[in-house]
Structure 1
Amino acid sequence: METVGGFAVHEILLRLSSKDAASLACVNSKFRIWASDETLWSNFCADELDLTSPVDPFGNPTSTFKEAYKRWKESFSMYPWPLVGRSKRCWDRIKSWFLANFPEAFATLRAGASEDELTNLENQLNVKLPLPTRILYRFCDGQEFNEDDEGNTLDNWMGLIGGYIFYHQVVNVFLFPVRHVIAGTKNMLRQLDFPNRSKYIIVAASLTDCGKFFFLNCDNGQLFVGTENLTGSCKMMPCVPKSLISSMHDCDAMLLWLEEHSRRLHNGTIRVCKEGEVKYLNLFHEEPPLCTTAVTNGVKVRASAILVPELSNLLREPANYMFAYSIRISLLPEGCIINGMHFDSCQLLSRHWTIIADDVVVSNVNGEAVIGKYPLLFPGEREFVYESCSPLSSTSGSIEGSFTFVPGSLVNPKGSPFKVKVAQFPLKLPDYIF
């Protein structure tokens, strides 16, 4: 009977919150024993903190799950508890992805900042950090920068947020640690004339010379990215839909931004790529609907575009939005097939683009080669990838077109030229800007 009764109480306890279970332990010694069961507290740790082993917030093992839970509660007692669990899960997912897919960048992530360091940031910059951002920094203090003796940053490709390359524009965005938030914000405020200088802190930027900066507005919790007009007119664009911030209790743009980044990492929307000997997180989408695919006569073309806020001019009338696009071309393993004939190679000769804004054709582009190159394709080889850009006087548009290929090669053609379709891909102001 005692066992049956104890089992029933245990089942009831499993349905209670951790707070209620702790209160029940005060009833008497028997309830205290039942409420100290390791299975019970391991469930609380798993459900609320995603802990699979009893460790404290610094990763040190504890004797029991109950002790681990207690230390987590004490360490984050000043914050809303659900927000602590949500922030931890966000960082856990980001860290697990980088550890598995980009360990070099994972190695740059710093341990969490202390309460004293965050309070010092607030005092130095005369701001009050939104609670979600403060908690996020408690779990991870941004990224470590390697610098030479002159203070120049090394390893510019390890940015947690990632980037893109086209022409001479090289972008790779790092998440700033607290000390760089302080130094970077003070430096930027000396250069920029923000309407309210005390609102903004710089939380992320590309360490290349491209001039891409992300600012958190500490008053309303929104995250902004600078445009081409940042220096002269402080023009910025919001990085997270305003409706999400206003509709979600105790949430700010930093948390929403990093959660969306985590989703894109885990669902394969963005991936690590290699440029020569350099690896980096590429922000060009790899999956539909923002990445389109077409196959013509064995030639496969994938295409996607991304907004380039730092080269977008919002002062023009109408505004000028810059989009970069990535084209990936490959020949399927079966080779080039035209009218039942098989060819073991084909070579690009020319291109044709139709650029559309608000459902109206604004430009038709014809020309030889792509960025001055005539890629020669062979079956099953890696994609030939090139990036270019196009301005658009609208927040919504698209590009579609075709390539002209020659079977065989340009110096030794095996047949007549043929068209290869490039499926329409969108140029659209995104909900989230990275």
Structure 2
Amino acid sequence: MALEGVGDLAINLILSRLEAEDTAKVACVSSRFRVWASDESLWALHCSEEIDLAAPLDPLGNPAPSFKEAYQVWRETFGMYPWSLVKRVKRCFDRLTSWFRINFPEVLNTLRKGASEDELDEFERSMGIKLPLPSRVLYRFYDGQKLPRHKLCGLIGGYSFYNHSVNVYLLPLNEIMMETRDILDHLGFTSGSKYIVVAASSTFMEKFFFLNCANGQVYVGTSNLREDGQMMPCVPDAALTSVHGYKQQDAMLLWLEEHGRRLQNGIIGVREEYKIKRICLFPELPPQCSTAVTNGVQIRASAVLVPEASNLQDLEAKYLFAYSVRMSLLPEGCTVHGMTYSTCQLYRRRWIIRANENVVDVVNDEGVIGQYPLLFPGDKEFVYESCTHLQISPGSVEGSFIFVPGRLADPKGEPFEVEVAVQPLNVILSVNGSPTTPAAKSLSDLPRKRYNKRADDHGFQWKPYKEPQRRITSQKTKRYILSTQPNVEQSKEDIILCNCRELKDLF
């Protein structure tokens, strides 16, 4: 019996086992096979399995007449790239956009329409570089972000402690050209440099991520970036393998995939302070986040490396770590010596900081950041951030709090000690790669340090910031905070960008 004699249902079942390209070839056999191979259910299956389309949409999100035509448009749009790479990039962005759609939809409005092939070609000619193939595909999907003024909608996010606040977003091509030329010109790099800035902080604190278009690695600048180009890799070198059979390697795609995985798994998430939302990079789940409960008081703690304030040449204080401590009282209240109390208040803290198992600092003082939080059952966590320098890694921070049942002004029982579990301070866990100083040019005769354009445009200047002596023993690492010039009024929005926590004094 000829194959044409088999029923339509059987033919449809057979064709559904084929790849999309084979289905298209079958359509060339005869007019009857063309009808079978054009069945909408087959192409709906291909669109779902290959590019995760639940509706017939083109790459710009516009409706297509059918799943078959939608699939055809996708293949034609990205026909110059390996299809497996296109599918991988789409999965990466699908994971990110689906998470943001539920948890932080404001970020989706900042994503720019993907760049065209002509725009990418012009960008490469203008910058004198050749983008790694995966990077070109990334920018074909989305040309970075366009952030609204005074919004912390960076797709990568950041952290805040004291007056140090960063919120990283993906730069569009036009900003990549501006930022790259500014920094490379400052460092004295030649026009043939293979580094481009692909992400930066939208706040007044500098933090830059670079893509090396020659080896595909992503780097983050340290505090010495504008002095001698010092950077640290963001992805382990072992992970940089040939991408889909091509020699070009790209850590940028791996970096974004890992970021999406952390968001989806709840390792990091959205934090809202004073009605301002942003992605917070302090981990929320073990093992990166430690948890201890003592007498009903729960303490959670996690830490991140702050590469933009670290100095790999400083032998006394090479790495700066920021740590976040969250304290809360469980719904049943606190229990001390068999007595249950509905409130308790922090009195003292004691921190032990170790580097390579050796104690390098001990902090024993009242309160935290000048506050004595009063905890109530089931209330939101009280959160505070601080920082510490380490000479070497790995290290750790641990300690305890002294709480008083009731209030400090009206104690209801004896003070009790609450444990803070050991929190690792690990460079590899923090940046996904060992610190190095790769291919960054050093100049013996440096030009005068420039002010950040984002600050200059708004009438602000930078000045060195000195950390409290008891928290950071070394003052060698250069840090900067925002300060207003004389007779310049600082708005609420500008203070938000510098540090959300400062808003408590404004309302």
Q: Given the two structures, how large is their TM-score scaled by the length of structure 2?
A: 0.81
| Equivalent of residue 84 in structure 1, options 86, 90, 93 | 86
User: Which stretch of structure 1 is more off in the superposition, 270-279 or 413-422?
Assistant: 270-279
> Which residue of the partner structure matches residue 382 of structure 1?
380
1:196–1:235: structure 2 CA closer, same or farther, 3 Å change rule?
A: farther
> Which residue of the partner structure matches residue 411 of structure 1?
409
Residues 1:200 and 2:202 aligned together? no
Aligned residue identity for 2:183: M
Paired with 2:393 and 2:33, the residues of 1 have a C-alpha distance of 62
> Which residue of the partner structure matches residue 132 of structure 1?
134
Q: Is the 8 A contact 1:194 1:234 kept in 2?
A: no
Paired with 1:319 and 1:340, the residues of 2 have a C-alpha distance of 45
> Which residue of the partner structure matches residue 176 of structure 1?
171
> Which residue of the partner structure matches residue 241 of structure 1?
236
Paired with 2:233 and 2:190, the residues of 1 have a C-alpha distance of 16
Partner of 2:34: helix, strand, or coil?
Answer: helix
Residues 190-339 of structure 1 aligned to structure 2 (within 5 Å): 190-194=185-189, 197-246=192-241, 248-249=243-244, 250=246, 251-317=249-315, 320-339=318-337
What runs of 5+ residues in structure 1 fail to find an aligned partner?
147-153
1:323–1:196: structure 2 CA closer, same or farther, 3 Å change rule?
A: farther
Paired with 1:354 and 1:98, the residues of 2 have a C-alpha distance of 38
Paired with 1:191 and 1:305, the residues of 2 have a C-alpha distance of 32
Report how far residue 234 of structure 1 moved.
0.6
CA-to-partner distance for each residue in 1:256-302, whole Å, 9 max, x for gaps? 11111111111111111112121111110111110011010110100
Paired with 1:32 and 1:63, the residues of 2 have a C-alpha distance of 18
Aligned residue identity for 1:370: V
> Which residue of the partner structure matches residue 189 of structure 1?
184
Report how far residue 64 of structure 1 moved.
1.5
Q: Is the 8 A contact 2:128 2:191 kept in 1?
A: no
Partner of 2:124: helix, strand, or coil?
Answer: helix
Paired with 1:121 and 1:431, the residues of 2 have a C-alpha distance of 34
Aligned residue identity for 1:209: F
Q: Is the 8 A contact 1:292 1:425 kept in 2?
A: yes
Residues 1:430 and 2:394 aligned together? no
Partner of 2:241: helix, strand, or coil?
Answer: helix
| Equivalent of residue 160 in structure 1, options 140, 155, 162 | 155
Paired with 1:432 and 1:377, the residues of 2 have a C-alpha distance of 31
CA-to-partner distance for each residue in 1:159-205, whole Å, 9 max, x for gaps? 11101110110110111111111111111111124488520110110
Paired with 2:319 and 2:121, the residues of 1 have a C-alpha distance of 38
1:311–1:419: structure 2 CA closer, same or farther, 3 Å change rule?
A: same
Paired with 1:395 and 1:195, the residues of 2 have a C-alpha distance of 34
Paired with 1:208 and 1:181, the residues of 2 have a C-alpha distance of 17
Report how far residue 247 of structure 1 moved.
5.7
Report how far residue 360 of structure 1 moved.
2.4
Report how far residue 245 of structure 1 moved.
1.3
Q: Is the 8 A contact 2:128 2:192 kept in 1?
A: no
User: Which stretch of structure 1 is more off in the superposition, 298-307 or 372-381?
Assistant: 372-381
Q: Given the two structures, how large is their TM-score scaled by the length of structure 1?
A: 0.94
Partner of 1:129: helix, strand, or coil?
Answer: coil
Partner of 1:225: helix, strand, or coil?
Answer: strand
Paired with 2:404 and 2:62, the residues of 1 have a C-alpha distance of 63
> Which residue of the partner structure matches residue 69 of structure 1?
71
Paired with 1:296 and 1:315, the residues of 2 have a C-alpha distance of 41
1:130–1:432: structure 2 CA closer, same or farther, 3 Å change rule?
A: farther
Aligned residues: 427
Aligned residue identity for 1:167: Y
Paired with 2:430 and 2:39, the residues of 1 have a C-alpha distance of 44
Aligned residue identity for 1:212: K
Report how far residue 431 of structure 1 moved.
4.9
* Greater relative contact order (CA < 8 Å, ≥ 6 in sequence): 2
Q: Identical aligned pairs, as a percentage?
A: 57
Q: Is the 8 A contact 1:156 1:172 kept in 2?
A: no
1:248–1:394: structure 2 CA closer, same or farther, 3 Å change rule?
A: farther
Q: Is the 8 A contact 2:15 2:42 kept in 1?
A: yes
> Which residue of the partner structure matches residue 111 of structure 2?
109
Paired with 1:66 and 1:243, the residues of 2 have a C-alpha distance of 40
Report how far residue 317 of structure 1 moved.
2.6
RMSD: 1.7
What runs of 5+ residues in structure 2 fail to find an aligned partner?
433-507
